[in-house]
């Protein structure tokens, strides 16, 4: 009898969830239910006619893809039957039945080890019991597919991550039942967080509980009512330990006192966790739940005898509920950008389409060209932005941005696509800052240097690509270590050469073994090197992800030490360049931000010498500095390598000013043209030397040059083969315009004589006079030498004669 009463009670409660179908009433129902400490609101409060409710917060929900297909309700304005798969029974009799059970695809992703064996549908109406076997089958543990469709086709938008990985969730929002030490506290339980190299420091790679029992938990406070839909779990990142959670439960609460478990039918759902420490594993809840707090409660974990610990890294998926009364205004962060750009992740075809659309919108200032192909044949497209695209103009500096060297570090790719859209729109609008940049600079944007790696990461999707998937080229090459190691060539020459005047400090030739076809060099790397050699770039930045810092050369330590400050001759200007980006970046310049992973770069003002961070032989920055005229830094754009699409607008806001300010630095220092004094023709490959800076640059094919310098007074010398060197003093001001320092070189008389006689011309008077003076000087030297020899011979004869006497 008690069971019958219990069935009637639950059935009446279940029927109560089908009361309202109007969006306004839904919101009211959520608030009234959540107001109770003991009750939690499930997704059943959202009717089929209000499936877009989670998106009213303004958060974009695209860009997160999973391996699972969805078959959920379409968003009509009235209650209609839900989308059905072939062979399923229509649900018109009970329109809310599908949402009570949860989206269909969740049954595939729940990965539960505790599955209902019987058709105990005490919460279901008898008319729909026939559908239950479908749910039971799908609720069984299943191995997740490794590749997801590139574009989500969900009818109901997938909720985005709360932001544990991106640090949108603050440390104060994370709590735990216990933790072993500070370095393993709840603030370290963030997806993809990286540990330090020292075991036991404050930068470990997970949250680890102090005790080893099933009462341990990690809690996230969303700080407002949120519809939780899933959890992503990882094991501990460490080079010393191997810890992970195999299975776990999830609980929800409105007040952190009364908790309700995520259910699988009539039993608590137990979700499968990790089988290794690095692969992210996604589990979507059978029924999404509205609450403020969520807990992850490990049930089984890697024991490792008696040494195994309960350790995990996590991300939580959830949609913030609408806040019509502005109750949570104090904690609302901006999620949109004032610029109307295409904020989403673009695969290769979509990137190409977007670049083409920008070119069609601004054909007078843009040009698309390819510098080569990836290993799989994807073209490396570049967008050129200039008032005269396709041509190098005399005196106009060449600038480049390169992104996507590591395919899974995707923010730089999207920022460059946003940048080309933004510059096109602002140029047409008449923004004088953009107009000046376009007219005075030739800009080259390479959004994807490693398209093969990006496609691998893109197919997995944001949050599920992990820390390394897509980092390397298709051949498994890390392009950040794939350029010719010219640092070792330079330092070896310095150690062996006794005559320092014979040493070179720029334009180091590439070793022959590197240029051979057998060399292990990526096709993408070769394409970029050819690009560098064909265009006289002056300034560049290499956009990466996974940290928040700007690094500058050298990236390689001199004695292969793990880390050591290794400055270039232009250390002061490189620090200026790095500071120009970091100080204008809204996140880097925030003094209250927390470190991303295992190093606090705020102590260094968010800039650091690359080799002082870690040793990187064969980097593009060092190669660019030693083999060409181009100065280049690396910008680590965000803690999250693959941010969710909903975070792209605010990331653009964080970096827009930095991207523009850094481009403007190409106009600092001095520039000019080195010409032949007689013909006024430009002299190519003229060497520009600045006193007290042991690094020279060379003029381009037309004789124009650019030397990046900080404000100050410099003694500059220009020299070229067959010409007499010329020196002058140049003053660099604080203005955003370079100082003009032109040179006119006079040919060496012997060289001029050869050229004139070869042409059958007559010698000019000044050259005749100069030639006469040289002959007289040579005659005097010869006569003096002969006289000295004669005197010596006479003295020797006199000595012999005296000896005979």
Q: Which of 332, 354, 353, 352 is nearest to 341 (CA)?
A: 354
Q: What phi and psi, each to the nearest 5 degrees, are found at residue 237? A: -90, 115
* Signed CA dihedral, 587, 593, 596, 602: sign only: positive
Q: Which of 688, 673, 669, 690 is nearest to 744 (CA)?
A: 673
Tokens representing 542 are 């290499």
By residue count, the chain amounts to: 805
Q: Which of 53, 96, 112 is nearest to 262 (CA)?
A: 112
CA 382 to chain centre: 18
| Cα separation, 218 vs 177, whole angstroms | 7
| Cα separation, 402 vs 381, whole angstroms | 11
User: Do residues 660 and 437 make contact, with C-beta atoms less than 8 angstroms apart?
Assistant: yes
DSSP state for residue 440 in the 8-state scheme: H
| Bridge partners, 283 (sequence order) | 231
User: Do residues 250 and 288 make contact, with C-beta atoms less than 8 angstroms apart?
Assistant: no
User: Do residues 589 and 655 make contact, with C-beta atoms less than 8 angstroms apart?
Assistant: no
User: Do residues 374 and 450 make contact, with C-beta atoms less than 8 angstroms apart?
Assistant: yes
**Does the active-site annotation cover 636?**
yes
Nearby residues of 430 by Cβ (< 8 Å), 6 or more positions away: none
Pairs from 13-18 (Cβ < 8 Å, separation ≥ 24): 14/100, 14/123, 14/124, 14/125, 17/42, 17/44, 17/45, 17/96, 17/100, 18/44, 18/94, 18/95, 18/96
Nearby residues of 71 by Cβ (< 8 Å), 6 or more positions away: 83, 84, 85, 103, 104, 105
Nearby residues of 750 by Cβ (< 8 Å), 6 or more positions away: none
Nearby residues of 256 by Cβ (< 8 Å), 6 or more positions away: 219, 221, 292, 293
SS (H, E, C) 377-429: CCEEEEEEECCCCCCCCCCCCEEEEEECCCCCCCHHHHHHHHHHHHHHHHHHH
Tokens representing 315 are 């991300």
From the list 100, 409, 463, 636, the catalytic residue is 636
Q: Which of 254, 182, 192 is nearest to 222 (CA)?
A: 254
Residues designated as active site: 636
């Amino acid at each position: 009898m008690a069971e019958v009463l219990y069935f009637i009670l639950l059935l009446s409660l279940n029927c109560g969830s089908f009361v309202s179908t109007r969006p306004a009433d839904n919101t009211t129902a959520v608030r009234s239910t959540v107001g109770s400490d003991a009750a939690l609101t499930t997704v059943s409060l959202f009717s089929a006619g209000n499936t877009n409710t989670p998106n009213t917060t303004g958060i974009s929900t695209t860009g997160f893809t999973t391996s699972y297909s969805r078959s959920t309700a379409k968003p009509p304005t009235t209650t209609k039957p839900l989308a059905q798969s072939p062979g399923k029974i229509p649900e018109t009799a009970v329109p809310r039945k599908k949402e009570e059970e949860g989206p269909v695809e969740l049954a595939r992703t729940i990965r539960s080890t505790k599955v209902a064996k019987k058709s105990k549908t005490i919460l279901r109406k008898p008319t729909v019991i026939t559908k239950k076997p479908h749910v039971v089958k799908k609720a069984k543990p299943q191995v997740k597919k490794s590749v997801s469709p590139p574009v989500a086709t969900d009818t109901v938008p997938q909720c985005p991550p709360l932001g544990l990985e991106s640090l949108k969730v603050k440390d104060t929002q994370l709590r735990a039942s216990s933790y072993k030490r500070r370095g393993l506290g709840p603030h370290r339980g963030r997806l993809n967080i990286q540990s330090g190299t020292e075991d036991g420091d404050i930068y470990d790679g997970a949250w680890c509980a102090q005790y080893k029992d099933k009462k341990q938990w990690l809690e996230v406070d969303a700080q407002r009512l949120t519809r939780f839909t899933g959890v992503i779990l990882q094991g501990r990142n460490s080079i010393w330990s191997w810890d992970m959670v195999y299975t776990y439960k999830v609980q929800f609460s409105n007040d952190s006192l009364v908790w309700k478990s995520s259910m699988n039918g009539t039993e608590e759902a137990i979700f499968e966790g990790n089988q290794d420490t690095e692969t992210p594993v996604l589990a979507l809840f059978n029924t999404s739940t509205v609450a403020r707090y969520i807990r992850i409660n490990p049930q089984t974990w890697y024991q490792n005898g008696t040494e195994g610990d309960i350790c995990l890294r996590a991300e939580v998926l959830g949609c913030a509920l609408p806040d019509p009364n502005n109750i949570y205004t104090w904690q609302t962060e901006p999620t949109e950008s004032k610029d109307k750009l295409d904020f989403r992740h673009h695969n290769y075809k979509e990137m190409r389409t977007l670049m083409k659309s920008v070119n069609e919108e601004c054909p007078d200032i843009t040009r698309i060209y390819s510098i080569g192909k990836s290993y799989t044949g994807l073209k490396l497209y570049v967008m050129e932005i200039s008032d005269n695209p396709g041509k190098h103009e005399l005196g106009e500096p060449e600038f480049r941005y390169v992104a996507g060297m590591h395919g899974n570090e995707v923010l730089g790719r999207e920022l460059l696509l946003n940048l080309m859209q933004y510059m096109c729109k602002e140029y047409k609008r008449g923004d004088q800052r953009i107009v000046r940049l376009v007219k005075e600079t030739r800009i080259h944007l390479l959004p994807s240097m490693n398209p093969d790696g990006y496609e691998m990461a893109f197919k997995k999707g944001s949050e599920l690509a992990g820390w390394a998937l897509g980092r390397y080229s298709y051949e498994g090459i890390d392009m950040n270590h794939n350029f010719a190691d010219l640092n070792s060539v330079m330092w070896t020459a310095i150690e062996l050469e006794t005559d320092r005047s014979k040493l070179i400090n720029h334009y180091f030739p590439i070793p022959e073994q590197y240029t051979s076809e057998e060399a292990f060099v990526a096709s993408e790397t070769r394409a970029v090197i050819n690009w560098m050699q064909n265009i006289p770039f002056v300034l560049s930045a290499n956009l990466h992800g996974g940290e928040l810092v700007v690094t500058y050369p050298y990236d390689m330590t001199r004695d292969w030490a793990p880390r050591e400050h290794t400055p270039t001759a232009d250390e002061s200007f490189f620090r200026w360049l790095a500071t120009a980006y970091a100080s204008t970046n809204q996140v880097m310049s925030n003094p209250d931000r927390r470190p991303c992973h295992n190093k606090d770069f705020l102590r260094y003002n968010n800039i650091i010498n690359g080799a002082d961070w870690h040793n990187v032989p064969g980097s593009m920055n060092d190669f660019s500095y030693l083999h060409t005229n181009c100065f280049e830094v690396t910008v680590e754009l965000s803690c999250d390598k693959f941010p969710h699409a909903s975070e792209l607008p605010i990331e653009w806001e964080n970096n827009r000013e930095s991207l523009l300010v850094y481009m403007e630095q190409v106009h600092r220092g001095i520039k000019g043209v080195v010409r032949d004094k007689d013909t006024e023709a430009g002299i190519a490959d003229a060497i520009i030397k600045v006193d007290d800076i042991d690094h020279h640059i060379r003029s381009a094919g037309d004789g124009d040059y650019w030397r990046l310098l900080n404000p100050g007074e410099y003694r500059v010398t220009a020299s070229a083969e067959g010409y007499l060197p010329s020196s002058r003093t140049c003053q660099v001001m604080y203005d955003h315009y370079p100082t003009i320092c032109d040179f006119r070189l006079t040919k060496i008389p012997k060289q001029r004589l050869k050229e004139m006689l070869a042409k059958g011309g007559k010698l000019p008077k000044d050259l005749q006079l100069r030639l006469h003076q040289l002959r007289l000087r040579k005659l005097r030297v010869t006569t003096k030498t002969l006289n000295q020899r004669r005197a010596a011979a006479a003295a020797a004869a006199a000595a012999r004669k005296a000896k005979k006497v």
